[in-house]
Chain A
Amino acid sequence: GQSLEQPSEVTAVEGAIVQINCTYQTSGFYGLSWYQQHDGGAPTFLSYNALDGLEETGRFSSFLSRSDSYGYLLLQELQMKDSASYFCAVKTDNAGNMLTFGGGTRLMVKP
């Protein structure tokens, strides 16, 4: 089967740095994505890692270690608007573009 594990909830203060981990066990692996979803909203794409290493996009960075089946999303200089759910997702096939999502991590940013 496919499984992606991430913490269900994380709390941090404004201005801090937070790391959301994701470990996966899937039958196929072609890349790890991160999506952000605010309450009542749609998921929005944040980042994608196909190869090992760190990808940086502004305040957000994402890391992948394929040998450890592990990745993380790093959010720096946290802002109140970063309060949302964050999902990791594995692309599990190459013929199509099927994503298998983790259960999501609810991030609460406090003043």
Chain B
Amino acid sequence: DSGVTQTPKHLITATGQRVTLRCSPRSGDLSVYWYQQSLDQGLQFLIHYYNGEERAKGNILERFSAQQFPDLHSELNLSSLELGDSALYFCASSVADSDSSYEQYFGPGTRLTVT
């Protein structure tokens, strides 16, 4: 158990819908990262937040957005869902945001199925 929690574990929804995935980092960690893992694309970095501020953005679609709240939990919002958005979404956390925190701790993931 990494100490990172994600809810829900599974989510099934229809195309065109909007969902929110939630992540709570390990106690004391200020950075939160979101990743998408699908069979054909592998593990893709989406976005990184540090202490409430966006620090880095990967190939995140415009239909996707995220935020980190003052209590450091984070939410990933996915809208206008398409079949291709079906994937495992991981949240990870680390202590800081640069050299001192190369180790990222991954949560159990949310499996999203779009039908």
Give me the interface of A with B, judged by CB distance under 8 Å: 30-31, 33, 41-45, 48, 50, 87, 89, 91, 93-104
Contacts and interface: CB of A to CB of B under 8 A. Distances in A.
Contacts of A48: 102-103
A102 to B, nearest CB: 8
Interface of B: 2, 31, 33, 42-45, 48, 50, 55-56, 58, 90, 92, 94, 97-99, 101-109
Given A33-B102, A43-B43, A96-B50, 20 more contacts: A42-B90, A42-B106, A43-B90, A45-B105, A91-B102, A94-B99, A96-B48, A96-B98, A97-B31, A97-B56, A97-B97, A97-B98, A98-B58, A99-B33, A99-B104, A101-B43, A101-B44, A101-B45, A103-B42, A104-B43
Contacts, number: 67
A89 B97 CA distance: 16
B73 to A, nearest CB: 18
23 contacts: A30-B99, A33-B102, A42-B2, A42-B90, A43-B43, A43-B90, A44-B2, A87-B43, A89-B43, A95-B55, A95-B56, A96-B48, A96-B50, A96-B55, A96-B56, A97-B56, A98-B48, A99-B33, A99-B45, A99-B104, A101-B44, A101-B45, A104-B42
Q: Is the interface of A mostly helix, strand, loop or mixed?
A: loop
Contacts of A45: 103-105
Contacts of A30: 99
A94 B98 CA distance: 6
